[in-house]
Amino acid sequence: MRSRSLLLWLYLLFSRHATGLAERILTGRLARGKEDAARINERRGIASQARPDGPLIWFHAASVGEALSLLELIRRIREEREDLTILVTTGTVTSAAVMGRRLPADVIYQFVPLDIIGFVQSFLNHWQPDLAIWTESELWPAMIVETHRQGCPMMLLNARISQGSARNWRWLGGMARALLSRFDLVQAQDDLTASRLRGLGLLPSRIEVTGTLKEGAAALPHDEAQRQDLSQRLGTRPAWVAASTHAGEEDLVLAAHRAVLRSTPRAILFLVPRHPERGADIAKLLESDGWTFAQRSTGALPDRDTQVYLADSLGELGLWYRLAPISFLGGSLVDIGGHNPFEPAALGSAILYGPYVSNFTDIFDRLQAVDAARQVRDSESLARAVDELMNPERAAAMANAAWEVSSTGAAVTDRALNAILERLEQREADQRNAST
């Protein structure tokens, strides 16, 4: 039986009458470059493409990482059911750019509408999904309630909830229970998430622990011609990458690299900010600190004197992981929560990370248990770890252990695929029975 919540009722009442506020929010976001002017109507639930005939599965992912974790699953679904249309939504301009390059041509991408009932109803009335699949942790109440009201089965895949988020949801009384009760199945990344979701009121019969879809994702792509060109330019120079760094981390990484250069003068650092638009600010930091560097967004390439290559480009992590046998994963020396370690693991790179990895605690624990990843605390310990891994045999041993952990993830995708196909077939059977 579906749970009820006064707070949810009040939220939905607000959502029904907040169109004017939503328009002002969109105007402000557009002015700050956070919306695509050409596709702004999609945020109002107005589709920019026609809905094809036949069954349609809708996937929603909040961000780039969540969306990328779906690519292998989408590929498998399309192999099993060529008659299906797949719709993918996200909410950021960055994720739209990445999905535009990575999604197959016949998969439809749209921006998700704001959580305003009128916008949501317009979206759902147009697309009429036969199955709706959320990923990880972004739960918009109006979208969930309206999707359920239209009779569309719903799943939550790759579910993850932090301790802080669970605590915040508990403050909202029965609202979490009321929303979670509308999902037919939740596949959680780990036991801790499952326990927290049960504590919020999710029925144990509707949740299973499967691991993370990111574990079963295909390796990040790259341009092989560029890899060969950069490899020739680098020659035998030792290289390491600081991937997906955030504000406050570049200083620590650069201090570590300066120490590395004292023992390995020819070493080069690929510095890859999580948000490429920060590239200009990081370039100023490099210039003021006296580094010899090249900046990818300007078209510059590294030469034999380059100490730091500022790789402020989007969607090229697969290239840097292939070129560097040592990877430091950013968002972990500052309190961001870390980033997906399976991406470097799948590409043969030894992994270093800081103490702030709450988003991937279970995965990092597994990697560390088999000496496939190593935690550092500051610039000094990062420099020592990089120095040690400049020994190719030590780096190769760590990288091989990481690859073995990452290569076991196909079963996670299999379980998600089977669950999706089962619910879609049941939906189709119910529709046939209703029509007879």
Q: Any idea what the CATH number is for the domain that residue 421 is in?
A: 3.40.50.11720
Residues 22 and 85 reside in one and the same domain = yes
What is the DSSP secondary structure assignment for residue 221, as one 8-state letter? P
What does pTM read for this prediction? Answer: 0.67
Residue-number span of the structural domain to which 344 is assigned = 224-406
Cβ count within 10 A of residue 24: 10
Contacts of 46 (CB under 8 A, 6+ apart): 122
pLDDT (tens digit per residue) in 354-412: 999 987 887 888 888 889 999 999 999 999 999 999 999 999 999 998 888 777 666 78
1: pLDDT strictly greater than 50: no
Average pLDDT along the chain: 92
Query: Angle of helix 19-31 relative to helix 117-127, nearest 10 degrees?
Result: 80
Tell me if 144 is assigned to some domain. Answer: yes
**Window from 44-48, 149-153, 355-359 with minimum mean pLDDT:** 355-359
Contact at 8 Å (CB) between 224 and 375? no
Contact at 8 Å (CB) between 372 and 398? yes
For the record, the structure tokens of 75 come out as 């590929």
Residues acting as catalytic residues = 66
pLDDT (tens digit per residue) in 219-264: 788 999 999 999 999 999 999 999 999 999 999 999 999 999 999 9
Residues 348 and 427 reside in one and the same domain = no
Percent of the chain at pLDDT above 90? 71
Tell me if 218 is assigned to some domain. Answer: no
Of 361, 375, 372, 426, residue with least CA distance to 395: 372
15 band by pLDDT with thresholds 50, 70 and 90: very high
Exposure b/e, 128-153, CB count within 10 A at least 16 = b: ebbbbbbbbbbbbbbbbbbbbeeebb
Which has the higher per-residue pLDDT, 169 or 281? 281
H/E stretch holding 397 reads helix 392-406
Cβ count within 10 A of residue 12: 16
Residues 253 and 332 reside in one and the same domain = yes
Residues 375 and 419 reside in one and the same domain = no
Residues 308 and 201 reside in one and the same domain = no
Residues 342 and 228 reside in one and the same domain = yes
CA-to-CA separations, 221 to 192, 217, 229, 358, in angstroms, rounded: 32, 11, 16, 26
The CATH number assigned to the domain holding 310 equals: 3.40.50.2000
